[in-house]
């Protein structure tokens, strides 16, 4: 209980720090949900949550309770570290100290003779008196006694009513900024089942002049969860697409170089839903026309600036660029136009007497490279382009 409260406090503090500053990167929503639901014990190092409800049930009812009422499963204990973590919590529950509690371990009529309900092998065990159970009882359950000196697990009749321990993975959800040309994102814990009641946010930025193309490889989410895709850098941007279990989109494209994905996981997930995975890449949008200016135009452009722009018009068209204004520093601040086969034009200096100036690419793409050195005070350039039919 104590460490759960501490974790909630820490999260609250983080949030107020973020809200106190209206900074550009909005690290908000993914962090708002605490890793464990109220009342659960949070084992921070294990990223697991545990609960001992204040009721006594038969093994199968306890199993059902953990799954349906608590969104988890009867506890599995993988190693000594987890044994110790659960012990700390168990010992705080004064009402059950005298009672052994059900754990998610039971016997089977074949090898391995006992296994965790979550299908992991029980390769760590902590038997009472160090005595492993005989393999004779094929349908028995295990309980954990904390009564000293007999601390450990023992075989027990599944129909007895006992307290029990539930476990679920802590809802630790990313709020991440990804700046790259290509990459992959997925639901937390993928390809394991996703954590319940989380809201994860992924801010994706690709290089300027590109748009983000996001392709879902797989979407396996429950009917109450959704993936919301925003056309811009934050969750305040326009909603581009809402993906749910009934309306699955394969490919989503932004209109600018950033896109934000938010995954809302409901409380109804569980082992049968593995979540989702997607890849993204920067692509050059195909356009019919557009315009470009030097940064800050018509105010002086910044020093030491390098940028490349790629123009992409449909196949069967050429890029027809018209430069309307061009004043930069002689020799050192230049704009280079090229296509797959040639450098088409390279300009630096005061070109006021040569504008407007038009040029065409040989094919459907054109690259424009801008480079400015230090110590500048010129207004720069502006240009427009249109798709020009090759047959025209
Ligand atoms: C962040 O908040 C602190 C305290 O309010 C303030 O001193 C600081 O200037 C802020 N930083 C930004 C980038 O707003
Ligand atoms: C325990 O079993 C799991 C598979 O269920 C395996 O991944 C793990 O490596 C095993 N640990 C040890 C210590 O053998
Ligand atoms: C463990 O050993 C103690 C004392 O030797 C005994 O009283 C107890 O019944 C044993 N527990 C089990 C589950 O065998
Ligand atoms: C990622 O891109 C965003 C938006 O363009 C920018 O604010 C942020 O500083 C970049 N982060 C890194 C680590 O480059
Ligand atoms: C997406 O899921 C969240 C959490 O379940 C819900 O609050 C929200 O309304 C859903 N969005 C839409 C558009 O259905
Ligand atoms: C581009 O330059 C021309 C000529 O100076 C000017 O008339 C036009 O308004 C400029 N366009 C933009 C978008 O600034
Ligand atoms: C650029 O050249 C024109 C004449 O062609 C001149 O009027 C103008 O003042 C020059 N601008 C700069 C910034 O040198
Ligand atoms: C024009 O672009 C197409 C598609 O990218 C390519 O197949 C073709 O070879 C290019 N032609 C020239 C002359 O570069």
Nearest to residue 259, comparing CAs of 278, 286, 287? 278
Ligand 8 nearest atom to the CA of residue 341, by list position? 14
pLDDT of 392 reads: 55
Alpha helices, DSSP H, located in the chain: 2-20, 59-64, 80-92
User: Look-up: residue for tokens 């040639």?
Assistant: 342
Q: What is the rounded CA–CA span in Å between residue 155 and residue 132?
A: 9
Nearest CA to ligand 1 atom 12: 21
Quote the pTM value: 0.55
Q: What is the rounded CA–CA span in Å between residue 316 and residue 108?
A: 68
Q: What is the rounded CA–CA span in Å between residue 9 and residue 13?
A: 6
What distance in angstroms lies between residue 363's CA and the mean position of ligand 8's atoms? 6
Answer whether 352 contacts ligand 7 (Cβ < 6 A): yes
**Which ligand does the CA of 315 lie closest to?**
8
**Which ligand does the CA of 259 lie closest to?**
4
pLDDT along the chain (392 residues), means of 10: 35 29 26 68 88 95 90 91 93 82 91 84 91 77 86 94 92 83 90 81 92 94 94 96 87 95 86 89 90 94 89 94 96 93 94 96 94 85 95 66
pLDDT tens per residue across span 43-95? 888 888 999 999 999 999 999 999 888 778 899 999 999 999 999 999 888 77
What distance in angstroms lies between residue 177's CA and the mean position of ligand 4's atoms? 7
- Please name the residues in contact with 348: beta carbons below 8 A apart, sequence gap of 6 or more: 328, 329, 330, 331, 332, 333, 334, 335
E-state strands within 85-238: 101-107, 114-116, 141-145, 152-156, 166-169, 175-179, 182-186, 199-205, 211-220, 226-230
Pocket of ligand 2 (CB under 6 A): 120-121, 123
Rounded to 5 degrees, φ, ψ at 128 are -60, 135
Q: What is the rounded CA–CA span in Å between residue 164 and residue 158?
A: 12
Using most ligand atoms within 8 A of CB, pick from 291, 296, 301, 325 the residue to mutate for ligand 6: 325
Residue 378 Cα distances to 177, 215, 345, 368, angstroms: 34, 42, 20, 19
Domain architecture of the chain: domains with CATH: 2-169 (3.10.100.10), 176-283 (2.60.120.290), 289-389 (2.60.120.290)
Q: What is the rounded CA–CA span in Å between residue 111 and residue 281?
A: 47
Q: What is the rounded CA–CA span in Å between residue 228 and residue 259?
A: 11
Q: What is the rounded CA–CA span in Å between residue 365 and residue 337?
A: 11
The DSSP letter of residue 234 is S
What distance in angstroms lies between residue 180's CA and the mean position of ligand 1's atoms? 28
**Which ligand does the CA of 377 lie closest to?**
7
Using most ligand atoms within 8 A of CB, pick from 27, 180, 205 the residue to mutate for ligand 4: 205
pLDDT of 324 reads: 98
What distance in angstroms lies between residue 338's CA and the mean position of ligand 7's atoms? 26
**Which ligand does the CA of 228 lie closest to?**
5
User: Look-up: residue for tokens 């820490």?
Assistant: 10
pLDDT tens per residue across span 369-387? 999 997 768 999 999 999 9
First to last CA, the chain: 75
Q: For residue 291, what are its two tokens?
A: 């315009």
Answer whether 130 contacts ligand 1 (Cβ < 6 A): no
pLDDT of 103 reads: 97
Using most ligand atoms within 8 A of CB, pick from 129, 142, 153 the residue to mutate for ligand 3: 129
Burial profile 276-311: b = 16 or more Cβ within 10 angstroms, e = fewer: bbbebebbebeeeeeebbbeeeeebbeeebebebbb
Nearest CA to ligand 4 atom 11: 179
What distance in angstroms lies between residue 79's CA and the mean position of ligand 2's atoms? 10
The DSSP letter of residue 247 is B
Q: In what order do the strands lie in the sheet with 365-372?
A: 305-312, 365-372, 334-338, 343-348
- Give one DSSP letter per residue of 144-168, joined into a string: EE--TT--EEEEE-TTS-B-B-EEE
pLDDT of 281 reads: 95
Using most ligand atoms within 8 A of CB, pick from 123, 125, 126, 192 the residue to mutate for ligand 2: 123
Determine what percent of the chain falls in helix, strand and coil, rounding each to the nearest 5. Answer: 15, 40, 45
Is residue 44 helix, strand or coil? coil
């Amino acid at each position: 209980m104590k460490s759960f409260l501490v974790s909630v406090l820490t999260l609250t503090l983080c949030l107020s720090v973020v809200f106190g500053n209206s900074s550009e990167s909005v690290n908000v929503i993914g962090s708002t949900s605490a890793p464990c639901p109220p009342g659960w014990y949070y084992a921070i190092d294990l990223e697991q949550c545990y609960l001992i409800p204040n009721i006594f049930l038969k093994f199968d009812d306890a199993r059902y309770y953990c799954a349906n009422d608590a969104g988890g499963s009867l506890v599995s204990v993988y190693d000594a570290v987890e044994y110790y973590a659960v012990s700390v919590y168990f010992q705080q529950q004064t009402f059950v100290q005298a009672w052994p509690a059900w754990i998610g371990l039971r016997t089977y009529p074949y090898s391995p003779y006992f296994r965790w309900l979550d299908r992991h092998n029980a390769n760590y065990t902590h038997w009472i008196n160090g005595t492993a159970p005989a393999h004779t009882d094929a349908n028995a359950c295990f309980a954990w006694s904390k009564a000293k000196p007999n601390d450990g697990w023992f075989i027990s009749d599944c129909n007895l009513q006992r307290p029990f321990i539930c476990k679920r993975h802590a809802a630790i959800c990313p709020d991440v900024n990804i700046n790259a040309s290509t990459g992959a994102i997925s639901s937390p814990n993928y390809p394991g089942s996703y954590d319940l009641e989380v809201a994860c946010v992924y801010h994706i930025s690709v290089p300027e002049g590109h748009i983000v193309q996001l392709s879902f490889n797989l979407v396996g989410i429950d009917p109450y969860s959704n993936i919301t895709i925003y056309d811009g850098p934050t969750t305040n941007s326009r909603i581009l697409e809402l993906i749910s279990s009934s309306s699955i989109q394969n490919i989503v494209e932004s209109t600018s170089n950033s896109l934000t994905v938010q995954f809302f996981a409901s409380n109804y997930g569980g082992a049968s839903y593995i979540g989702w995975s997607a890849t993204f890449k920067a692509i050059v949008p195909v356009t019919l026309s557009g315009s470009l200016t030097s940064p800050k135009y018509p105010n002086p452009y910044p020093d030491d600036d390098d940028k490349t722009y790629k123009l992409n018009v449909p196949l069967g068209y050429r890029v027809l660029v018209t430069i309307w204004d061009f004043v930069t520093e002689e020799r050192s601040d230049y704009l280079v136009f090229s296509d797959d086969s040639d450098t088409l034009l390279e300009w630096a200096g005061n070109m006021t007497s040569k504008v407007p100036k038009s040029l065409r690419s040989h094919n459907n793409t054109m690259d424009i490279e801008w480079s400015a050195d230090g110590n500048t005070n010129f207004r720069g350039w502006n240009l427009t382009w249109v798709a020009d039919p090759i047959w025209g």
